[in-house]
């Protein structure tokens, strides 16, 4: 009997065990193979996408896209397996040892059961990928890419590109100021050949504007040519086109062998045609940044005011021209760039719409009954001429029936997606999408996770991109710096609009144009990238959905296949316990979970019970977790299970104590809170050695010295006794860029010795008494922002600070200076853009010498009770754009009043002067009292009356 069992084991069980051991041993190589396969598979998907987009037959295009989605789902499964392996491999490092005995082999397999499951999944997915690739290639064979081509376009897209070149002069609306600027650059100016670039969003009217100006000025030149470049071009083709146009203009025959000439011969022939002539050439729709390298040698510089006019949606094209000219000429002055950023006014948009929608009426006027709905439709176009003209052209073919137009407006997003006559908008915008590198496409599509017209903080967006894996490491750069480059790339391609900048010129907030957002949603739907889940949402898509934006609490979420979801963003203020319980009930490969501004219910409620949050521990893939501005009051101990977590944001919540289990999250890079308690962190922070940002640590602890990667540190409740510990810790932080220190009591003194380790510091905030201005502050060559408050300095700090080379912002407030006079000397603070002076009770005089504060754009004065006159010399600040005055003495306000103030002449050059008086201050003035300043810079704001002075 025993022999029979052994025989059966050898015959049936042993081969299985040997196979399993071999699969486990080969697993790392198998994962590496499918990782490499994934890259080539994504190339196939990219090519298939463009073929589908270029297909003119609607039925065939739909079939291709449906099949492409199957390819994409196979790619999703590969991504999931790679992620699953990386998580389990970290917890169970691969052991390649051979098992000598059968029992050892069985034991080895038992400890690696999850990895064995991954090995079997890899076999399945490899078969799936092979079948899907072969099936697609068989049904829709991809065309061979032509050599020399730089992109993929079809006849329809060429037509869309050419249409703006043939708009009649009387159809053009707006652009008066840009027209004057371009005309002046083309006709007047320097003798040297000059390149003029018009840069802007697709559909904003670059070609229309440039062509109109080109037509108006080309008679000032001896020869001219207009060349459409687009994505697909060859240098030889461009040069031949130029020759044809030059010869046609002079009514000459072009060289007989022009069709067979090589590039060098063509360049020589073009130069021959242009020699000693004043010419203008317009290159329309340039995409490739190195385009100027391709043509520069042909367009000779005759030093007779010849001009090159370029239209492009990529700012990098204009920048490359600058760099190229600088290298060749050692001057950057031969380039002019006009960014077409300002949208048409509402009146101009309406006029353009009427020109198209009512072009068959005698006067092109809008009927009275259609005016309101026409204005509504125009507003939805957000100033984009392309959309206004396309929609106006479509409506010109419809009956002038108000009810039908109202219905059209209500369904405009759907019309843009489905109506073949409006496809031009999506097609032109999608050209930029397909020109993006693969990772930047995902970055752009992420804007589809946010509502229409939503301003996204760049810091939030960038950390989510990193958590999603869209950002790859580059030597010598942090992930944030690489991501910032990606965001800048989208901005420079005119796909993303900057809504706000930080003081040092970095992007602070951004958004996408509504029509770009609409295009993104279309691509997201096609690719399974993300899905909006709201109250009035359609039924969920079939197949794999990668990301969810949730705006409603619904039982329908139960039916979603959650095993592939990577991110969830909530834009729902009240989410029930049951709903959240359903979300966390099943382990998902979530990387991003964002509750920012959600769960915003009355303060006394905590609608997220701890046992519900405890289920967060299941989300072992999670990298980004934000409860910012939500009502949660504590975090569960299970948060320690999130070993891959990199970002934890509890700002604007009631979470002050972080569980000590956080020490298990060794990958945590950012710990963001309003005040993280000393008790919770004193024994655990030192183990989180990847930590780069802490906001805000309640007290100084010895563990800080171990955080050598820290870049952003905010300390509250600082005490003098902490000086040695904090200085020692900071000395270990070689990458520190932002430092905030706030004392815990007004008697505490900030007295640091020489801090030579702070050479990388960019922003410094000191709130507390200083014996004197630290002598190491003026030595901070990279400092851009300095805030001092409650410092009680007796000596004017400006003398020490005036020569700092990169300082852009200074705030001196809340008794930071107790002297009577501030003196800005000639040549001081050359780069300073913003100056803020407030709550300085003894200050009675400010002098600004001519030549000081050369770059100042904004000056804020608040609650300086003894300052009764505007700063002497303010009239010298030629670049001052904003003068903001709050709660200043009534004599101060009267002295600059526009209706007879004796010092009004000194501020007459300032475009925006704003006076604000708090309700409390206005009452104090009424009863003849002086209003007292708040006791803390964090006091609650009072209601204000605003008075605008023009």
For the chain of 950 residues, list the mean pLDDT of each consecutive stretch of 10.
51 64 81 89 87 80 88 90 78 52 55 78 90 90 57 46 54 74 88 89 84 88 88 85 85 75 88 90 88 88 90 85 55 71 80 82 80 87 81 82 84 73 75 84 94 91 94 88 91 87 88 88 88 62 77 61 82 73 72 84 51 78 91 86 92 84 88 70 68 74 80 86 85 90 86 80 94 90 95 92 94 94 93 95 94 94 94 93 92 87 91 85 66 42 38
Q: Please give the Cα distance from 400 to 359 (Å, whole number).
A: 13
Quote the DSSP letter at residue 254.
P
User: Which pLDDT belongs to residue 458?
Assistant: 94
Q: Please give the Cα distance from 788 to 811 (Å, whole number).
A: 6
Are the C-beta atoms of 657 and 684 separated by less than 8 Å? no
Give the residues across from 860 on adjacent strands.
Answer: 836, 884
Structure tokens at 533: 């889940």
Q: Model-level pTM?
A: 0.80
Q: Please give the Cα distance from 71 to 801 (Å, whole number).
A: 61
Structure tokens at 53: 């987009």
Phi, psi dihedrals of residue 495, rounded to the nearest 5°: -95, -30
Give the helix/strand (H/E) hosting 340: none
Q: Please give the Cα distance from 516 to 642 (Å, whole number).
A: 36
Structure tokens at 389: 């003209």
Quote the DSSP letter at residue 539.
P
Q: Please give the Cα distance from 805 to 686 (Å, whole number).
A: 35
If you search the block for the tokens 């092109």, which residue do you land on?
A: 364
Number of neighbouring beta carbons within 10 Å of residue 344: 22
Q: Please give the Cα distance from 746 to 814 (Å, whole number).
A: 12
Q: Strands (DSSP E) along 57-106, which ranges? A: none
Number of C-alpha atoms within 13 angstroms, CB side, residue 704? 27
**Cα angle, residue 830 at apex, residues 829 and 833 outer, rounded to 5°:** 80
Q: Please give the Cα distance from 664 to 652 (Å, whole number).
A: 24
Q: Please give the Cα distance from 883 to 87 (Å, whole number).
A: 55
Are the C-beta atoms of 947 and 901 separated by less than 8 Å? no
User: Which pLDDT belongs to residue 107?
Assistant: 59
Are the C-beta atoms of 239 and 266 separated by less than 8 Å? yes
Q: Please give the Cα distance from 494 to 497 (Å, whole number).
A: 7
C-alpha pair distances (Å), 788 with each of 109, 425, 742: 63, 51, 10
C-alpha pair distances (Å), 949 with each of 705, 747, 885, 901: 52, 41, 11, 12
Helix (H, G, I), strand (E, B) or coil at 718: strand
Q: Please give the Cα distance from 879 to 921 (Å, whole number).
A: 31
User: Which pLDDT belongs to residue 764?
Assistant: 95
Give the residues across from 739 on adjacent strands.
Answer: 713, 764
Q: Sign of the C-alpha dihedral, residues 686, 692, 696, 699?
A: positive
Name the nearest CA neighbour of 783 among 811, 813, 760: 760
Give the residues across from 837 on adjacent strands.
Answer: 812, 861
Quote the DSSP letter at residue 562.
G
Contacts for 922 with CB less than 8 Å, ≥ 6 apart: 945
C-alpha pair distances (Å), 787 with each of 366, 443, 506: 56, 35, 19
Burial profile 390-414: b = 16 or more Cβ within 10 angstroms, e = fewer = bbbbbbeeeeeeeeebeebbeebbe
User: Which pLDDT belongs to residue 855?
Assistant: 93
Length in residues, the chain = 950
Q: Please give the Cα distance from 243 to 238 (Å, whole number).
A: 9
**What are the CB-based long-range contacts (under 8 Å, 24+) for 221-225?**
221/278, 221/279, 221/280, 221/306, 221/307, 222/277, 222/278, 222/279, 223/249, 223/250, 223/273, 223/274, 223/277, 223/279, 224/249, 224/279, 224/280, 224/281, 224/282, 225/249, 225/279, 225/281, 225/282
Name the nearest CA neighbour of 282 among 328, 217, 367: 217
Q: Please give the Cα distance from 190 to 179 (Å, whole number).
A: 19
């Amino acid at each position: 009997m025993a022999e029979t069992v052994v025989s059966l084991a050898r015959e049936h069980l042993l081969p299985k065990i040997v196979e399993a051991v071999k699969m486990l041993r080969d697993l790392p190589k198998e994962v590496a193979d499918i990782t490499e396969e994934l890259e080539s598979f994504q190339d196939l998907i990219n090519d298939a996408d463009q073929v589908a987009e270029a297909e003119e037959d609607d039925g065939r295009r739909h079939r291709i896209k449906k099949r492409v989605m199957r390819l994409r789902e196979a790619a999703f499964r590969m991504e999931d397996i790679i992620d699953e392996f990386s998580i389990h491999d970290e917890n169970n490092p691969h052991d390649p040892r051979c098992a000598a005995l059968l029992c050892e082999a069985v034991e080895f397999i038992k400890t690696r059961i999850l990895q064995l499951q991954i090995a079997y999944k890899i076999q399945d997915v490899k078969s799936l990928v092979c079948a899907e690739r072969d099936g697609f290639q068989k049904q829709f064979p991809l065309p061979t890419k032509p050599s020399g081509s730089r992109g993929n376009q079809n006849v329809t897209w060429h037509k869309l590109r050419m249409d703006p070149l043939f708009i009649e002069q009387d159809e053009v609306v707006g652009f008066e100021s840009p027209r004057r600027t371009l005309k002046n650059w083309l006709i007047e100016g320097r003798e040297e050949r000059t390149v003029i670039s018009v840069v802007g969003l697709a559909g904003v009217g670059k070609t229309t504007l440039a062509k109109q100006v080109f037509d108006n000025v080309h008679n000032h030149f001896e020869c001219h040519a207009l060349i459409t470049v687009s994505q697909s071009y060859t240098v030889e083709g461009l040069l031949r086109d130029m020759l044809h146009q030059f010869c046609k203009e002079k009514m000459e025959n072009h060289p007989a062998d022009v069709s067979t000439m090589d590039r060098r011969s063509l360049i020589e022939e073009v130069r021959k045609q242009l020699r000693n002539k004043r010419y203008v050439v317009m290159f329309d729709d340039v995409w490739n940044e190195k385009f100027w390298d391709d043509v520069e040698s042909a367009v000779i510089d005759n030093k007779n005011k010849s001009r090159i006019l370029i239209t492009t949606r990529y700012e990098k094209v204009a920048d490359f021209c600058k760099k190229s000219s600088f290298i060749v000429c050692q001057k950057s002055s031969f380039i002019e760039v006009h960014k077409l950023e300002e949208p048409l006014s509402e009146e101009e948009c309406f006029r353009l719409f009427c020109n198209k929608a009512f072009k068959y009426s005698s006067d092109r006027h809008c009927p009275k009954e259609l005016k309101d709905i026409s204005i509504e439709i125009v507003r939805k176009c957000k100033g984009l001429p392309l959309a206004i003209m396309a929609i106006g052209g479509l409506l010109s073919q419809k009956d002038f029936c108000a009810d039908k137009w109202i219905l059209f407006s209500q369904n405009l997003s759907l019309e843009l997606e489905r109506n073949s006559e409006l496809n031009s908008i999506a097609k032109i915008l999608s050209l930029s999408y397909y020109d993006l590198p693969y990772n930047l496409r995902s970055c752009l599509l992420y804007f589809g996770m946010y509502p229409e017209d939503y301003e996204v903080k760049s810091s939030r967006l960038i950390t989510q991109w990193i958590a999603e894996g869209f950002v790859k490491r580059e030597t010598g750069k942090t992930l944030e710096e690489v991501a910032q480059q990606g965001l800048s790339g989208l901005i420079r391609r005119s796909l993303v609009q900057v809504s706000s900048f930080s003081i040092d010129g970095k992007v602070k907030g951004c958004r996408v144009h509504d029509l770009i957002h609409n295009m993104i949603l279309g691509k997201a739907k096609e690719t399974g990238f993300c899905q909006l889940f709201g109250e009035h949402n359609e039924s969920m898509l079939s197949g794999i959905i990668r990301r969810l934006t949730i705006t409603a609490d619904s039982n329908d979420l139960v039916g979603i296949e959650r095993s592939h979801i990577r991110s969830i963003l909530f834009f729902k203020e009240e989410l029930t316990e049951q709903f959240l319980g359903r979300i966390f009930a099943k382990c998902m490969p979530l990387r991003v979970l964002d509750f920012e501004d959600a769960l915003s219910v009355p303060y006394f409620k905590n609608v997220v019970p701890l046992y519900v949050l405890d289920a967060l521990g299941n989300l072992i893939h999670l990298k980004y977790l934000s409860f910012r501005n939500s009502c949660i009051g504590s975090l569960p101990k299970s948060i320690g299970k999130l070993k891959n977590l990199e970002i934890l944001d509890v700002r604007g919540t009631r979470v002050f104590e972080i569980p000590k289990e956080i020490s298990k999250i060794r990958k945590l890079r950012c710990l963001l809170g309003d005040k993280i308690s000393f008790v919770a962190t004193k024994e655990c922070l030192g183990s989180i050695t990847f930590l780069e940002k802490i906001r805000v640590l309640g007290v100084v602890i010895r563990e800080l010295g171990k955080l050598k990667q820290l870049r952003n540190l905010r300390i509250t409740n600082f005490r003098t006794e902490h000086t040695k510990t904090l200085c020692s810790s900071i000395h270990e932080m070689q990458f520190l860029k932002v430092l905030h220190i706030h004392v815990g009591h007004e008697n505490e003194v900030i007295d640091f010795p020489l801090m030579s380790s702070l050479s990388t510091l960019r922003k410094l905030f000191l709130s507390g008494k200083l014996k004197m201005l630290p002598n190491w502050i003026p030595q901070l060559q990279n400092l851009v922002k300095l805030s001092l408050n409650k410092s009680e300095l007796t000596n004017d700090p400006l003398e020490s600070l005036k020569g700092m080379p990169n300082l852009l912002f200074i705030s001196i407030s809340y008794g930071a200076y107790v002297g009577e006079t501030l003196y800005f000397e000639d040549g001081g603070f050359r780069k300073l853009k913003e100056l803020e002076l407030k709550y300085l009770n003894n200050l009675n005089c400010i002098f600004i010498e001519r030549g000081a504060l050369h770059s100042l754009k904004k000056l804020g004065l608040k609650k300086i009770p003894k300052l009764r006159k505007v700063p002497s010399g303010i009239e010298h600040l030629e670049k001052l754009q904003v003068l903001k005055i709050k709660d200043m003495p009534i004599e101060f306000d009267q002295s600059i009043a526009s209706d007879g103030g004796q010092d009004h002449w000194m501020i007459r050059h300032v475009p925006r002067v704003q006076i604000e008086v708090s309700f409390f201050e206005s009452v104090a003035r009424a009863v003849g009292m002086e209003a007292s300043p708040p006791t803390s810079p964090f006091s609650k704001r009072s209601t204000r009356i605003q008075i605008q002075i023009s």
